[in-house]
Amino acid sequence: PRVGMIAHELGHVLGLIDMYGSPNQEGNGIGYQDVMAYAWGTDNSQLYPPEPSCWTKDLLGWTVAADIPYDGRYLLGAMGQGPNDANASRRGGGRWVFDEPKCIKIAKGFGGNEYLLIEYRKPMGFDRQHRGAGGACIYHVDESAPSFDKPGFAGQKTGTGVFPENGNHYMIAVLPFDREYDLER
């Protein structure tokens, strides 16, 4: 059965918001990184909707976004890999190792309700149709931004100025490795 839209609408019942721009706006929110952004999945079949992002799981209490205590090297398990809790331990080499899949939160250097979230996505579980071999997904979160109605990206020029001074950016945006910001265009 095609479960993509059912999963997306169930998300609304749980209190989740749409994570894509409004119909008259450009952009695709955070795309394949969350069922609330694109329930059709990477193959557009709705048979394999994406797993919720770590932001969504943290909001629902399904995971805990662990605050990073200081600079260092951190290891993550894949988001779709088993249960999630806040347990972490210090291991050899001075590294923090999370015993379960984890979402990392970096608020240092940001103000107010703004921070980065990092998760490891891998083609397994609900993400088994995810394109590529997997890797880190870094989200810029600004909980004071007006949802997904004002897409913005580096170099964007609008009637209200140039990004970021124009104030246009999603509440949650994927920071693209290639810096092209295709999801916002």
For residues 148-170, give the mean pLDDT. Answer: 69
95 lies in some domain: yes
167 lies in some domain: yes
73 lies in some domain: yes
169 lies in some domain: yes
Percent pLDDT > 70 in the chain is: 70
Model-wide pTM > 0.75: yes
Domain count, the chain: 1
18 lies in some domain: no
For residues 6-30, give the mean pLDDT. Answer: 81
Structure confidence at residue 164 (pLDDT): 62
By residue range, what is the domain housing residue 129? Answer: 52-184
Average per-residue pLDDT in the chain?
77
Taking the C-alpha atoms of residue 185 and residue 183, their distance in angstroms, rounded to an integer, is: 6
71 lies in some domain: yes
Task: Tell me which residue has tokens 């989740």.
Answer: 16
45 lies in some domain: no
Q: How many CA atoms lie within 13 A of 5 on its CB side?
A: 4
93-117 tens-digit pLDDT: 555 555 554 789 998 888 788 899 9
40-64 tens-digit pLDDT: 888 888 988 888 999 999 999 888 8
122 lies in some domain: yes
Closest Cα partner for 36 from 59, 13, 8? 8
Structure confidence at residue 180 (pLDDT): 66
Query: Are 104 and 74 spatial neighbours (Cβ–Cβ below 8 Å)?
Result: yes
Confidence band, pLDDT 50/70/90 cuts, at residue 85? very low
Taking the C-alpha atoms of residue 10 and residue 153, their distance in angstroms, rounded to an integer, is: 30
On the question of pLDDT at 146 being above 50, the answer is: yes
Structure confidence at residue 95 (pLDDT): 54
